[in-house]
Structure formats: structure tokens, C-alpha cells
Chains A and B, each alone.
Chain A
Amino acid sequence: MDSDIIKLNKVNFYYGPTRALTDITMNFVKNKVTALIGPSGCGKSTLLRLLNRMNDLIDGTRVEGEILFEDKNIYASDVDSVEIRRKIGMVFQKPNPFPKTIYNNISYGPKLTGIGADNMDALVERSLRQAVLWDEVKDILNKSAMNLSGGQQQRLCIARALAMKPDVLLMDEPTSALDPISTAKIEELIEELKKDYTIIIVTHNMQQAARISDETAFFYIGNLVEYNKTEKIFTNPDVKQTEDYITGRFG
């Protein structure tokens, strides 16, 4: 019955001497969309990047506490960050396709692991279909991904992450650089994807959080202020601070 895929237990995180996250304890539910909200600098992106160990790439960072993925601490000394990142995919704020062809963007990850190598064409098609991009690009797979529009590039990045068949998809403000139509497409896509994936999304857009997420966590200056069902957070939050932020009184 345990449906929590990621569990955080008293997590503290430091950039050098500065503490960016304080005693975060929370669980992420499998096959749900969880939104992380809060004003800039509150630590939500930092938290997201902790979950697939992307913060390892920054010098002078330090993690305390436990982050369990499928009941194994991903910061244990015998865990390979490369393995973690293959199971927990990430989509970034700014679309960042490689300057390669569309096909090679998708096949980049699988080629590293060797998964699906026997039938790469099928894997590429499946990933692009999942990201609802297939019909738009099926005739230009060998063209550079740089020629796509911003919204298409972002869906390509989602497809690229999906090609690794991850369990969890982390999204760091995936629509903040996109126009409203592309944003709507990505939101529809997230709705579709949560059947198969656990999605954790950082967003600055309150309506977006309300529209697409099942659970919402509100952060403020490195602290988890409130974490509950999205409906509850947006209609009847327990904490005054949460209400103030959501209604736009600060932040």
C-alpha cells in the first residue's frame, strides 16, 4: 500500500556556508503531479535538483538527512548518481535540446545505456508520440532540433527524458519561457503523462499549479510551509502565509 515513491527525511542543504533548505520532511506520491510553489529563492528549484543529484555538479554544496527513492537513500556512498539520473529524468526551465538532429536528441540517452538499442527507431517514435510531437516532426527527424519552435523544443526535451523510461519526471518551470499556446500543450501533456510517471513540477504560475497538480507544497525561505492536496491549498489553506502568497498579497 506504500505509494510514496520518494521520501525526504530531515533534509538540509547548503551552498557553502549558506543553508538553502531547512529540515525538509515530505513524501512524493507515485503517479501524481506534485507542484512546488513559493517566491523566488525559496529553495524549490534547489529541492527539485536534489532529487536527481544535479546539485552534485555545483562545487561546495552539502546535503544532510535522507532522500529515499524506492526506499534506498540516493545519497548513500554506494549509489551512483548516473544510475539515479537515469531513473529520475529532468526537464529544464529553458528548452535545451542538443545541437543535433531531432532523432539524435532522443537517442542520446538510450545509446549511453544501451537500452532499446536493438530497435531505436521504435523507441524514438514512442517517445515523440508520448510527448505529442510525433506528427509535427516525423518527416524532419534528421533536421536539427534547433530549427524547432520554443514549445516544440520543450516537448522534444520531454520526449528525450521519456526515452530513458524514467520512473519520475522532474520539471523546473517548464513553461516559463513559452507562449500561452505552447504552455497549454505542455499542461495537457503533463495530464496525460501522470498515468505512467510521477511528476514533480516547480512553477511560478499559481493557476498552472492549481490546474495540473494533485498535491502542492508551498516553500518559503528554505522551509516547507504547507504541503497538502492542491484543492485544499488553493481553497482553504491552513497557514496564513500560504493564503497570502496564493492570493498575491506577497511574493
Chain B
Amino acid sequence: MIRQTKEIIIKYIFFLFSLASIVVLGLIVLSLFREGIPLFSKVSVKDFLFGMEWYPTYDPPSFGIFPLIVGSLIVTLLATLIAVPLGVLAAIYISEIAPQHIKIILKSVIELLAGLPSVVLGFFGMVIVAPWMQETFDLPTGLNIVNASIILALMAIPTISSISEDALYAVPREFKEASYALGATKFETISRVILPAAMSGISTAVMLGMARAIGETMVVLMVAGGAAAIPESLFDSVRPMPASIAAEMGETPFRSLHYQALFAIGIVLFCLTLAFNLIADYVSHKFKQVGSGTL
């Protein structure tokens, strides 16, 4: 009797702990919406999302975040274009090609890269990449889309690489043996059997890498340049959404229109990362392989 009661108590304790994270997340989302939604009584959703001018401190102010959305998307997209080939190819090399000792070194270096604080990477972009870029390409500023994308790519590579690597490891050995036994070379085996079988995991890795890049704040705050305008070239400055929130939040009066607008940007960001996660989830289910020969 007492033992059973104990079991029940333990069960509920664990339930409460697991509930805690859901409750906290729920409260955060709730406050995000509570602070952000009132903006839309003054500014229409359309003007907010597609307005071309972000002048929150002018009189009258203008809250169009389209340039910020464009800034976020273009920086994320370019970072993905850089990080996906590097991350996936590194994962293939580590899991399929590299000899044991190189594998160990590479893995720990990539993990170290994941552990670098983003402010350190931002600093690197600011004082090393930016002046170099400015001089080499004769630009008005080195703090621009390309610079931010490179630094964001550096941050996304460990995510993409380590999740892709897990996916590659999970490909059953039987598939590889079958391929080799049919006279396939290593390259043929990788490209025609291993990669297709790991595709769902690799796609998930890419989506999660993108989610990480789009929400990243410190790097874009430091190296994207901060110009809230639609860029005309890849060497223009932009002001991605997280950078705007971080830069302006400290100077807005509590519950002013500007304050609410920043929360509304938070809602947009939240929806975007949620979308990336949902797509990642969908992709990983859709392309899920049925294991090896089931009997």
C-alpha cells in the first residue's frame, strides 16, 4: 500500500518537473503577445509587416519592419548557403572517410566552435573581418550582409555538422556492405546509398541551423551594420530583427508604441523560428526511412 502511494507520488513529481518547462514557455509566449498585440490597434498588420520605413522615434513615428524582415532573411539565407555545404561535407568526411585520429581532432574542434560565445565571434567579425573586407573590396563599410552571413555560418556549421553526422552514422552498416558488395566505390556508396538514406536527418540539421541563424542576436547586432533599409547589394548594411530589438529595447519607455512594436517584432521572429522547427519536424517524418530489412 505504502509502496504504491510512493510510486504515485514519484510519478506526479516527475510530471510536475516536465510540466514546468511547458508552463514557462507558455508564459513567455503569452507575455510576448500581451505586450506586442496592442500595437495593432494603432498600426495595421499590413503597414507593420510590409511598411518600408522603420522610424520609431520620429514624430509621427513609422513602424514598417519590412526592411528588417528582409535583412533577417537575406542574412540567414546567405549564411545557410555558406554553412550547408561546409557542414554537410565536414559531416560526410568525419563519419565516412576520415581515419580515426583525424576524426577525433575534427570532431572536438567543431564542438569547440559550437562552444564559442557569439559575442566572441561577433568581435572577430567586427575587428578582423570588417576592416579586411572594407580595404580589400574598397567598401564604405565592412559591417554588412556578407560579413554577418559568414559569422552566422560559422555559428550554424557545428549544428548542421553534428546533426548530419548523427544521421550518417545511423545509416545501417548493411546498406553500405550491400553497396560495396555490388562493386560500388566509396564515392558511389556515399552519394547513392548513404546520403539518400540520411537525407531526413540532414534536412532537419539544415532547418535547425537556419533557426539558430535567424534568431541569433549578438552577431547581427555587431556586424550587420544596422541600416534599416532594403539592401541593394550584398555589401550593404542591414538591420535584422533581433538586432533591432536588442539595440532599441533599452531606450523605449515602458508600454510606449515603440516598446510594443519591438515586442511585435519578437512575435514575428517567434513565428519564423517556429515555422523552421515545424518544417524540420515535417521533413524528418516525411523522409524517414524504414530501417534495414524488417522481417
Q: Which positions 173-187 of chain B face chain A at CB distance < 8 Å?
A: 174-185
Q: Which positions 136-181 of chain A face chain B at CB distance < 8 Å?
A: 144, 146, 149-150, 153-154, 157, 160-161, 164, 177-178
In Å, the complex CA distance between A83 and B182 comes to 10
A54 is an interface residue with CB less than 8 A from chain B: yes
B18 is an interface residue with CB less than 8 A from chain A: no
A7 is an interface residue with CB less than 8 A from chain B: no
In Å, the complex CA distance between A82 and B184 comes to 7
Which of A82, A92, A99, A144 is B183 in contact with, Cβ under 8 Å? A82
Chain A residue, CB-CB nearest to B197: A99
Q: Which A residues touch B188, using CB under 8 A?
A: 112
A98 is an interface residue with CB less than 8 A from chain B: yes
Q: Which A residues touch B100, using CB under 8 A?
A: 59
Q: How far is the CB of B161 from chain A (nearest CB, A)?
A: 23
Q: Which B residues touch A164, using CB under 8 A?
A: 182-183
B25 is an interface residue with CB less than 8 A from chain A: no
Q: Given A96-B292, A146-B294, A150-B295, A85–B183 Cβ distance below 8 Å?
A: yes
Q: Which A residues touch B294, using CB under 8 A?
A: 146, 150
Q: Which positions 67-88 of chain B face chain A at CB distance < 8 Å?
A: none
Q: Which A residues touch B193, using CB under 8 A?
A: 98
- Tell me whether B180 and A96 are in contact (CB under 8 A): no
In Å, the complex CA distance between A154 and B193 comes to 18
Q: How far is the CB of A161 from chain B (nearest CB, A)?
A: 7
In Å, the complex CA distance between A57 and B97 comes to 12
In Å, the complex CA distance between A227 and B234 comes to 74
Chain A residue, CB-CB nearest to B188: A112
B172 is an interface residue with CB less than 8 A from chain A: yes
- Tell me whether B178 and A113 are in contact (CB under 8 A): no
Q: Given A92-B174, A92-B177, A177-B295, A99–B182 Cβ distance below 8 Å?
A: no
- Tell me whether B182 and A85 are in contact (CB under 8 A): yes
Chain B residue, CB-CB nearest to A52: B181
- Tell me whether B175 and A96 are in contact (CB under 8 A): yes
Chain B interface main SS type: helix
B290 is an interface residue with CB less than 8 A from chain A: yes
B293 is an interface residue with CB less than 8 A from chain A: yes
Number of chain A interface residues as a range: 20 to 34
Of B176, B177, B193, B197, the most chain A CB neighbours within 10 A belong to B177
Which of B172, B180, B290, B293 is A57 in contact with, Cβ under 8 Å? B180
Q: Which B residues touch A94, using CB under 8 A?
A: 174, 292-293
In Å, the complex CA distance between A105 and B289 comes to 15
B34 is an interface residue with CB less than 8 A from chain A: no
- Tell me whether B290 and A99 are in contact (CB under 8 A): yes
Q: Given A99-B197, A108-B192, A89–B293 Cβ distance below 8 Å?
A: no
Chain B residue, CB-CB nearest to A93: B174
Chain A residue, CB-CB nearest to B193: A98
Q: Which positions 86-119 of chain A face chain B at CB distance < 8 Å?
A: 86, 89-90, 92, 94-100, 108-109, 112-113
Given contacts A85-B180, A96-B175, A144-B290, 11 further A-B pairs with CB under 8 A are A52-B181, A57-B180, A85-B183, A86-B183, A94-B293, A96-B292, A109-B184, A146-B290, A160-B178, A164-B182, A177-B295
Shortest Cβ-Cβ A-B pairs, 9 listed:
A86-B183, A96-B174, A150-B295, A95-B293, A109-B182, A90-B181, A146-B290, A85-B183, A99-B289
Binding site for A on B (CB under 8 A): 100, 172, 174-185, 188, 192-193, 196-197, 289-290, 292-295
- 13 intermolecular pairs with C-beta atoms under 8 Å apart: A59-B100, A83-B183, A85-B181, A90-B181, A92-B178, A95-B293, A96-B172, A96-B175, A109-B183, A146-B289, A157-B178, A161-B182, A178-B295
